[in-house]
Structures are given as structure tokens and as C-alpha cells.
Amino acid sequence: MPSLTTALVQISGIALALIALSGCFEKKSGTNPSETPAGPMTFSTGFLTVDSVRLESTDAAPIARISGIAVDSGGRIIIADASERTVRIYSSQGELLKSLGRTGDGPGEFREPRYVVALPGSELLIGEGGGRLHRYRDDTLLYSVQMDSVSFISSMSLARPGAIVVSTGDQRESSIVELNLEGKFQRRTTVFKGIPVGETPEDPRWQSVFQVWAAACGSTLYAAATIGDSIWETDSVGAMWRSHKVHYQGYSPPRLPSPASPPNRARPFESIKQYDVVQGLICDPKQVAFTYVRGVRNYGDPQVLMIRRGEQWSAHSSGPPVILLRSDTLYSLLHPGSDTTWIGKHVRR
């Protein structure tokens, strides 16, 4: 069985093999019936934990919340920490090697680092939620720029040599934007218009919890909305977008509090614990996965992992947050919310 380091390096190549994008959803579209797998079964019933690596954390360099992760060609593990506003580089054994950035708006400074892409060699791209892009070589900053044509992003991936794709959207339109590695706009593809929720999609309260996720592997691009109930996919540039309604037994659709019971202003996201939202989207050439969560990035909130291998969906509950995916192997954050951070490796039973 390959080591965790070897497997993570293999993942970094697969997960970053993305396609160039063009065209738009309004031209061609298709909808498939709802898909509701049996279960959900517990995560431990479907998967066995076979390896783990502990990431070093100190008082001077704590890990608060991993918002992005990548592995470079040398096996180093790179994490973005949106809460600490920094990016940390670890050895394949979890030893802290270097911290990048500090709080601020200048070159090499971060307000919200969320996405990390390992380029060939020793170069890194770091994307912020606000659309800023930073490029490093051998841990030295090359440039920091604001991406063209986007004011915020929900995901970032390498599309092909020399290009990245980011997801962005609001209540009017949700899109995937391709840019070059200097953040210059190249093209845009629209996934859907409006927030894809059946109940009062025009209500402005949806905007506070709305994001668009995107992931692509091989020749397939996937997209999902935080408060939608479908995963969208296309299998080639300009081809038909297809939507799959994906539920599990016990799924609770997004719904707003009644006008007589407005959200608690002191706890504006409390109502989200009453329904399922999509959190994250990952894939490899053989499968795609996303997570339904009742809450907003709180590790203690109930979650169900949805995985499609081939044409078959399965649902898994009571598992750790899954962050990387390859073949029958999943990689997760073990023991989230504890004082230590572990990356776990899991295989199908």
C-alpha cells in the first residue's frame, strides 16, 4: 500500500488536472431525476482509516482553521488558514518548515487566504476569498494582484498550464471564470442564473449563505451551490450542462424562517442548523464527492458525505471532513476542533 506522502503527491497531480472553459449554461441544459442512495451508512462502515500525519502546531504558529490544502511535487503539505491569515508549509512528516504572509493588504499580506495550488516545481498560487492572487517560488513572493472581473471567489483550481479557474456568483448569476496565472481575465462560463433553491429564490436573506463550488478532473467539470440540492456537470468545453438532484434519506431542503420569526440578529446563521447546505466539492477522474452540513463550517455540526463512483451515489454520516480524493482513497482532517491537526487516509472496506 502506498505511503500517505506518495498518495498525497499523486493526488496533487490528479486534482489539479482541470479543463479550459467556455460557453454558457443558457445555451444548452439538461436535468436528470433525483438520486437518493440508501442510508446514510456510517463513515466507519464504508471506510477504514489506514494512515495519518500530525501537523506540527506551536503557540507562535497555531493551526486555527484549514481553509485550503495542497501537496507539492516534493511531498510538502501546504495549508491555508483563513482564521490565522497565513499559509504554512510542512514536511511530508508534518514538521513545520515555513509560514508565509501576515495580516494586511500589501504584497504577500493576507486578509482571507483560502485556496492553495501547487504548480510544477516549487511554485505556489494562493487565492483569497476577496479575489487577490499571490504567487511564490521557493517560498519567495513573486507578485500579489487583484484578479480581473471577480470581486470574490468560492474556489480556485489549476485549469491547464498557465491558467486557473475560480467560481464566483450572487443571486443573479453563478459562473466559472478562467484567468491566467497573473490574474488576467480570459473567459467565463455561466453555470446557472439566480439562486437554485425552490423556496423564494429572490429573498435577499439567501445571499448571506450563498456560495458556488467548482471542481474538475480530466475532462469533466462539476459545480454546486451551497443552498442548492443539485450537482451540475459538463463533460467537454461548450457541451451540455447536466444537473443531478442528489439527496439522502433524511435530507432537509433549505428553508427560511417565517416572517413572523426572523433570524436572530445576534446569531444570524442559527437557522442554517435546521436544513442542509452543500460544503465543498472534490473529485478525481473516477468519482466526485461533496458534503451536506447543517451549519456553517462548524466541525461539530451534523454532516453527510455524498460520493458518486461511476453512476452510483452513496451517503456516509459520522465521518471526518474529507479534503482530498483519489480512487478508493479519501483524505480527511482527523479530530477537527481538537488542539492537534491530523490528516487521515481512508480506503473503502
Angle at 114 between CA 113 and CA 118, to 5 degrees: 95
* pLDDT value at residue 106: 93
Alpha carbon distance 76, 91 (integer Å): 5
Given strand 96-100, what is the order of strands in its sheet? Answer: 66-71, 77-81, 86-90, 96-100
* pLDDT value at residue 236: 53
Alpha carbon distance 155, 118 (integer Å): 15
For domain 4-348, give the CATH number: 2.120.10.30
Q: What is the pLDDT of residues 225-258, one digit of tens each?
A: 998 888 998 765 555 778 889 989 999 998 887 7
Identify the segments of the chain with pLDDT beneath 70: 1-33, 218-219, 235-239, 259-270, 296-300, 336-337
Which triple of cell numbers denotes residue 102?
A: 501576515
* pLDDT value at residue 33: 57
Decide the pairing of beta strands 241-246 and 29-35. parallel
Alpha carbon distance 17, 135 (integer Å): 19
Domain limits of the chain? 4-348
